Chain A
Amino acid sequence: QVQLQESGPGLVKPSQTLSLTCTVSGGSISSSTHYWSWIRQRPGKGLEWIGYIYFSGSTNYNPSLKSRVTMSVDTSKNHFSLKVTSVTAADTAVYYCARETPLYTNSPGFFDYWGQGTLVTVSS
């Protein structure tokens, strides 16, 4: 059974960098099949896709956050990471990592495994 677990600081100061890691167990992040996403939910709001990374390191970011987001992958540790720079209170959210499985090769897919989420609060 694939499991994903987010980890990182729960409190970040404004203007600093938010850093989170998602550790994958029960499956390999080096799978050529899957993409690995970050999704967030701000208080009282719906879900917002931040972007994904492939095991090769290729990425696709939401244009709304692209200038501040960097994702990376470490296949040796079977985890992938998210950095968001210059955070403000608007970045306060529960952050989820999720695995995307395409319907078939190079096709759209669905998020079939998610982490439980981690709350990150931006406050001084």
Chain B
Amino acid sequence: DIQMTQSPSSLSASVGDRVTITCRAGQHIRNILNWYQHKPGKAPKLLIYSASTLQSGVPSRFSGSGSGTDFTLTISSLQPEDFATYYCQQSYTTPYTFGQGTEVEIK
């Protein structure tokens, strides 16, 4: 299985802050990397696919980058509705695997 490692596991930030979350894959996965936002009691929401493509309807303050083994999700200006847990996921090969999550909390 391809291990996905996110950092940090949690962070505290203020509205308006720039937030960066990293995801490292245990082997090269080209750009086959997706990012999701998850709020308690709700369905996870796709933010970015293919490492850097913004899903339709997702605000442009979200962006993704990276290729190979190292990837980044950036929120350029954190908004109140962005407080959630974020997961990366590889679909390069099955079994698909997710990072352990990064919880973004209000400072």
- Taking Cβ atoms with an 8 Å cutoff, the residues of A that contact B are 4, 37, 45-49, 60, 62-64, 96, 98, 100, 103, 108-117
Contact = CB atoms under 8 A, between A and B. Distances in A.
Contacts of A64: 95
B91 interface: yes
Interface residues of B, number: 25
Nearest to A60: B94
B43 A46 contact: no
A110 B101 contact: no
Contacts of B42: 116
A36 to B, nearest CB: 13
B46 A112 contact: yes
A91 to B, nearest CB: 17
Contacts of A98: 44
Nearest to B4: A46
7 contacts: A48-B98, A60-B94, A63-B95, A108-B91, A109-B91, A110-B46, A110-B91
